[in-house]
Amino acid sequence: MTPLLDSHCHLTGYSDPVAVLRQATDASVDVVAVTEDPGEYRLLRTRLGRRPGVHAALGMHPLRARDFAPADLARFLRMPPEATWIGEIGLDYSPTGRKTRRAQLRVFETVLADPRARALPMTVHSRGAEEDTISRLAQASAAAAILHWYTGPLALVDEALAAGLWFSINPAMTASAKGRTLIDAVPADRILLETDGPFARQGRRPARPADLPASPPSGLSLPNTPPASSTTTSCASCKSADATRLAAQADAPVSPHANAHRTRSLLTKDDQT
């Protein structure tokens, strides 16, 4: 069976990442392991080696922006040729990140100005900064930018779709009315799955990639759910590390159709963090 894809997981946040990956493999789920800075990315790549089914993503997390020196940005900009994914990057104007807005913009704009980085699939943080995030991604013509755990105004969804952006949906989002409304508003073929584990939770424990194929919570009704038997389980262009290089597929950067259809029937509820 071709695996599903967890497009946003903080693998280094688990106490036993190897066990998490083993469970994901058993559940036929590939993992995009996001990082927060180039040092974490390099260490993760070294630890993963050539392990199949997991893609280390090169990140510059917005809430770390104040700590990034010019040398950190320079180090990031040397690494896109060896990367297959970019993330976590983006902007955060929530109360936690509002004071570092200027530093965040400097980092985000520097990343998006690099043609090697914006040619790769990227998983993007946008909390409280949705308008600026979407406008800058649109201006950069990012090949495959995915808005991770979008919680912004629904009025911006059409603008994001017009810019060619994607949305990744996690189990926690099905627990809220706003999350379900977003799922209904986004075309199925512009949706990817994620967990945001271990920060999102599955019941009383951290969410794991292996949770994605689970049954939906009782009573959850999402419209236009295709019968499980009529859908496949593949994220077609995410079946291999080479296939995540999506620069040549800018018009259809990810092809997550099966993931998208299954999103409406597979996600389980959780609490948003």
For residue range 2-49, list pLDDT tens digits in order.
779 999 999 999 999 999 999 999 999 999 999 999 999 999 999 998
Helix (H) or strand (E) holding 160: helix 157-162
Name all domains of the chain by residue range, CATH numbers in brackets: 4-266 (3.20.20.140)
Indicate whether 57 pLDDT > 70: yes
In the prediction, which pLDDT does 247 show? 28
Beta strand extents in 94-134 (DSSP E only): 121-125
Distance spanning both ends of the chain, measured CA to CA: 32
Reported as a single tens digit per residue, the pLDDT across 138-170 is 999 999 999 999 999 999 999 999 999 999 999
Indicate whether 269 pLDDT > 60: no
Reported as a single tens digit per residue, the pLDDT across 73-113 is 999 999 999 999 999 999 999 999 999 999 999 999 999 99
Give Cα 128 to chain centroid, integer Å.
17
Cα separation, 106 vs 73, whole angstroms: 10
Supply the pTM of this predicted model: 0.81
Rg from Cα positions in the chain: 17
Percent of the chain predicted with pLDDT > 70: 78
In the prediction, which pLDDT does 3 show? 79
Q: Work out the mean pLDDT of the chain and round it to a whole number.
A: 81
Who's near 89: CB < 8 A, 6+ residues apart? Answer: 59, 60, 61, 62, 107, 108, 111, 122, 123, 124, 125
What average pLDDT does this structure show over 62-71?
Answer: 96
Cα separation, 3 vs 25, whole angstroms: 8
> Do residues 12 and 266 touch, judged by C-beta distance below 8 A?
no
